[in-house]
Amino acid sequence: MAWGATIVRWLVPGAHSPETPTVNVVLGYESLELYLAREPYLGCTIGRYCNRIANGRFTLDGRVFALTSNDGPHLLHGGVDGFDQRLWDADTTADGVVFRLHSPDGDGGFPGAIDLSTHFALTEDGTLRIDYRATTSATTVVNLTNHSYFNLAGQGHILDHELQLFASRYTPVDATLIPTGMLSPVQGTPLDFTGSPRRIGARIADLASFPGGGYDHNVVIDRDDPHALVTAARLVDPASGRTLWCRTTEPGLQLYTGNWLREGLPVAPPLTSRRYAGVCLETQHYPDSPNQPSFPSTVLRPGEVFRSTTEYQIT
């Protein structure tokens, strides 16, 4: 839908019976009014900067920019009035829909007016392709993602889903989820999903003291070419046999297991809102990159074109 450039449903083949021809595998509400309440970013496009910027400020070309912080002192997912709370223009295409948005100079404290498009395309082989494109009138920072909560079973929780991450490092964070600037190996940590797929719930108890009590971590995708579309993750639901492949041109992926999802939120049944009801695979640049000079840059300058592609394929 055009509000937030949001994925509301993703229907995939269900059991081989007339009663269940399709199953919805993403959390979504049943009415627009619930999306207007903005909790908790179900399926929407996040911008102008997804994830966190420390203390709601950054310095660019010698100038300090103060943003609309909404996560304590920090900016989260675009701030108080992010792109998830905008009505985008929409045009249908042969394979999907293109959403377009103009964000004026100073929007949320960010410099530069940007023109942004998000193209959702669904192919016959079960691939959902998301292409982002943006230009700016002045030097700025851009970091975009989609915030869908996946549940390949179409019900229950995702703790029995199995996950493989093509990422041998991650960005450690402090107690407020701001990166320390280090890139550390996942080996020996609960974030080690390298090799064969592993059950998400197997080591989630080891994160009981982490904010939210679950996964909310950015991993560094293994890649040789910084611009290539590479496989970042594989998610498997053993019960249904469904597999989701995530491929992206982005350098990072935020693994989030819905730790803050509240019980009783009116999502479309048979999915229910509860802790760990869905898992997010948010492709992105690293959190707080504008304040971390060693991280891949999120700077966009006039005359340049921001391009980013992510694919989710369900087989």
- Name the residues annotated as catalytic: 147, 282
Residue 199 burial (10 A CB sphere; 0-12, 13-18, 19+): middle
Distances (CA, A) of 212 to 133, 173, 186: 33, 14, 20
Q: Is the backbone of residue 199 left (phi > 0), alpha (psi -120 to 50) or beta?
A: beta
Q: What is the largest CA-CA distance in the chain?
A: 63
**How many residues are recorded in the chain?**
315
Beta carbons within 10 angstroms of residue 25's beta carbon:
24
CB 169 within 8 A of CB 219: yes
Own/partner contacts of 239-243, CB < 8 Å, gap of 24 or more, are 239/153, 239/160, 240/23, 240/152, 240/153, 240/154, 242/12, 242/25, 242/152, 242/153, 242/314, 242/315, 243/152, 243/314, 243/315
Closest to 9 in 3D by CA, of 131, 212, 126, 154: 154
CB 258 within 8 A of CB 279: yes
Give the 3-state secondary structure of residue 107. helix
Give the 3-state secondary structure of residue 109. helix
In whole angstroms, what is the distance from residue 148 CA to residue 129 CA? 13
